[in-house]
Structure 1
Amino acid sequence: MDISNLEAIPGRTVVRHLGLVQGSTVRSKHAGRDLMAGLKNFVGGELRGYTELLEESRREATERMLQQARATGANAVVNVRFSTSNITSGAAEVMAYGTAVVVE
């Protein structure tokens, strides 16, 4: 399945719009990652545990969005965006959303 953050797939023609599709995941922080992040705050640098957590969350949200798109009969998703929001202290939602389309 093609996926793009553009409004179209270059070199392909959108022949049918199937509507909004989305996928999300809510993840909580891990105690071990919090401890290491607290230590990193003193010395500076990348918080790799959180970077990995966000990468996993984006990948899972994207896969759920694509599953929803396949269920509608789409062969592409265009205008893909990501959103992050805090749900509660220590937990955040990552959402992927876009427009399911059929392209030729």
Structure 2
Amino acid sequence: MILVNTDYITGKELETLGIVKGSTIQAKHMGKDIMAGFKTMVGGELTSYTEMMNEARALGTKRMVD
């Protein structure tokens, strides 16, 4: 399977499947959860959770392609 975000690839016939998405559930280390709890008190991005979300999204996409 080729995963693209364009309307065409020269020399290839494409089938549009529409919008697809995949999800995975992951857990962070308890210490990072505690630090994230403190971070929510003062506001701002929870970078460890942003990283985890990006990793989970990439894993979900990889599973769909494989």
TM-score range, shorter chain: 0.5 to 0.7
Q: Write out aligned runs for 1:13-92 (5 A).
A: 15=13, 17=15, 23-67=22-66
TM-score by length of 2: 0.67
CA contact (8 A) 2:8 2:14 kept: no
1:16 Cα shift? 5.7
TM-score by length of 1: 0.46
Among the aligned pairs, what percent are the same residue? 41
How far does the alpha carbon of each residue in 1:62-100 deviate from its partner, in whole angstroms, 9 at most, with x for none? 111110xxxxxxxxxxxxxxxxxxxxxxxxxxxxxxxxx
Number of positions where the alignment pairs a residue of Structure 1 with one of Structure 2: 63
Structure number having the greater helix percentage: 2
**Structure 1 residue ranges without an equivalent (≥5):** 68-104
Q: What is the root-mean-square deviation of aligned Cα atoms in Å? A: 2.8
Structure number having the greater strand percentage: 1
CA contact (8 A) 1:24 1:61 kept: yes
* Aligned counterparts of 1:11 and 1:48: Cα–Cα separation in 2: 36
Name the stretch that deviates more: 13-22 or 30-39: 13-22
Residue 2 of structure 1 corresponds to 3
Name the stretch that deviates more: 45-54 or 15-24: 15-24
* Aligned counterparts of 1:46 and 1:63: Cα–Cα separation in 2: 26
